[in-house]
Amino acid sequence: MKVHELARSEQVSAATIRHYVRVGLLQPRKGSNGYHVFAEPEQRRLRFIRQARGLGFTLEDIQTILQDAEKGQSPCPTVRQLIEPRLQQAREKLEAMQALVERMENAVASWQEQPDCQPCGDHICLLIEGSDHTEQNRGGDASHE
């Protein structure tokens, strides 16, 4: 199996496989012509990497896990340990994305009723600067333009 063949068979880009080879996650044999030769174990390894990526592990996590397995240890304790901070981070990112989408949607909605602002030196763009879109606008010098 050459890079592109493996890539097709596992639904990843050849660039991704090259990247894994580069960082040492995959170690294919080299044929006499210099071409990479991927056999069964490498293919299973790639499948494993993709599954682990799908569960939020980083490539470095996966390195650690694979190294455990290669030393004949059960990687499970490492796996159970590594997923905790990843899950925590994923939850945080999820919340951040929820908040962001909400802010963006509120902004777009309120912009429908706002006219384009004209440059006047004391602001840059009122669509953006007047984005108290999460809190209710406290009545102040809002009648700016």
Partner DNA sequence: TGTTGACCTGAGAGTAAGGCTCAGGTTTAT
Partner DNA sequence: ATAAACCTGAGCCTTACTCTCAGGTCAACA
Q: Does 23 bind Zn ion (CB under 5 A)?
A: no
CA pair distance 23, 21, nearest whole angstrom: 6
Q: By CB under 8 A, which span of 5-13, 16-24, 29-37, 77-85 interacts with a copy of itself?
A: 77-85
- Hey, which residues between 12 and 71 contact a copy of itself (CB under 8 A)? 44-45, 47-48, 51-52, 54-57, 65-66, 69
Q: Whose Cβ is closer to DNA: residue 8's or residue 144's?
A: 8
Q: DSSP for 101-129, please give it.
A: HHHHHHHHHHHTTSPPP---SS-S-HHHH
Q: Does 125 bind Zn ion (CB under 5 A)?
A: yes
Q: Does 129 bind a copy of itself (CB under 8 A)?
A: yes
Q: Does 80 bind a copy of itself (CB under 8 A)?
A: yes
CA pair distance 87, 43, nearest whole angstrom: 27
Q: Does 79 bind a copy of itself (CB under 8 A)?
A: yes
| Contact of 98 with 69, CB cutoff 8 Å | no
Report the interface residues with Zn ion, using CB under 5 A.
Answer: 76, 117, 120, 122-123, 125, 127
